[in-house]
Amino acid sequence: MNEAHLHLLVNHFPIIGTIFGLGILIGGIIFKNNAVKNTAFIVLIVATLFGAASMATGEGAEELVEDMPTVGKSIIHEHEELAEKFIVVLYVTGAFALLSLLANIKKHSKANLLAWLTLLLSIVAVVLVKEVGTSGGEIRHTEIRADASTQTNAGGENQSEHGEED
């Protein structure tokens, strides 16, 4: 197993965990259910830990794929820049999730305020993680790139929408 493989193994949980954490937190706030909010905080904390693991394996993954055909350094650089912005927001979100969890457990007077702040940070994190995930997917999945409709198949012939050669 190499670093690219490790990166692929860990990089999906920050995406899915942040999205699920946000959804669960919205439910916990709407239904005023501390157990549901605590679950959301734990999911966000775990997503943050996996985000750190994803960042730790990203450089090694880059080294393995940057010179492959159809990849290139520019698309990886864009992904890396987005990931660096996202991880800062995720670290702050994870820290607020931890504070919110502790405040909820101790029934602190600021627990509700912290939950709302965590919610706002989670929204920003979800917006950013969508961009990071898409740019990461574009590295090896050329079919999801913005210019995918202008690309041709390996034989140089255009394909119709049914996958048949013209």
**Residue 158 belongs to some domain of the structure:** no
Decide if 111 is inside a domain: yes
Query: Residue 44: inside a domain, yes or no?
Result: yes
Question: Residue 134: inside a domain, yes or no?
Answer: yes
Task: Specify if 9 maps to a domain.
Answer: yes
Residue 128 forms part of a structural domain: yes
The 3 state secondary structure assigned to 137-161 is HHHHCHHHCCCHHHCCCCCCCCECC
Domain count, the chain: 1
29 within a domain of the structure (yes/no): yes
Residue by residue, pLDDT tens for the chain (166 residues) are 888 899 999 999 999 999 999 999 999 999 999 999 999 999 999 999 999 999 999 999 988 888 887 777 888 999 999 999 999 999 999 999 999 999 999 999 999 999 999 999 999 999 999 999 999 988 888 777 777 666 544 444 444 444 444 4
Name the DSSP class of 68.
S
Q: What is the pLDDT of residue 24?
A: 98
Residue 12 lies inside a defined structural domain of this protein? yes
Neighbouring C-beta atoms of residue 55, cutoff 10 Å: 20
As a whole number of angstroms, the distance between CA 90 and CA 18 comes to 8
Note whether 45 and 146 are within 8 A (CB).
no
**Cα angle 95, 50, 22; round to 5:** 60
Domain span at residue 115 reads: 3-140
